[in-house]
């Protein structure tokens, strides 16, 4: 019977735990997404934002948006309540008519000390004429 040293056991355990940590941290938090544009009007857009980590909780959504042709971007933060599916609606006002905008969102729980999730993939919409 072959003896395995304590050092070899520690290396094997560390490797196993390391792979478990990588797996669990990759799945610990889901990025928010823009599910759809609920309304697209002349001067406003309402986004349906989903973050499964925030189901049924209060939080904030940060929306970064910019005109398709512009280099500058704007960021607004809105207080929301996520429903049981982790969805919340956010209305962005003050947009120009017949203009294409790109939007990204990030979300955070209302609890103090929480950090924003990181930005979602961008989605574009053109306001009405």
> Where do the structural domains in the chain lie, given as residue ranges?
33-126
Closest CA to 44 of 78, 70, 83, 72: 78
Tokens for 29, please give them: 């938090």
110: Cβ–Cβ under 8 A, 6 or more apart, which residues?
57, 58, 59, 60, 79
pTM above 0.85, yes or no: no
**Options 2.60.40.10, 2.40.10.10, 3.40.50.300, 3.30.1370.60; which CATH number does 33-126 get?**
2.60.40.10
What string of pLDDT tens digits covers the 129 residues of the chain?
Answer: 445 554 444 444 434 434 333 322 233 467 899 999 999 999 999 999 999 999 999 999 999 999 988 888 999 999 999 999 999 999 999 999 999 999 999 999 988 678 899 999 999 999 999
């Amino acid at each position: 019977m072959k003896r395995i040293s304590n050092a070899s056991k520690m290396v094997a355990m560390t490797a196993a735990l390391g792979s478990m940590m990588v797996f669990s941290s990759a799945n610990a938090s889901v990025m928010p997404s823009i599910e759809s544009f609920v309304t697209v009007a002349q001067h406003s857009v309402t986004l349906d934002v989903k973050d499964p980590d925030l189901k049924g909780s209060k939080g904030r959504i940060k929306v970064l948006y910019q005109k398709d042709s512009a280099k500058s971007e704007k960021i607004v933060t809105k207080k929301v309540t996520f429903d049981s599916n982790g969805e919340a609606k956010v209305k962005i006002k003050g947009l120009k008519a017949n203009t294409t905008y790109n939007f990204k969102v990030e979300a955070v729980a209302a609890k103090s000390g929480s950090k924003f999730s990181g930005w979602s993939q961008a989605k574009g919409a053109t306001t009405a004429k």
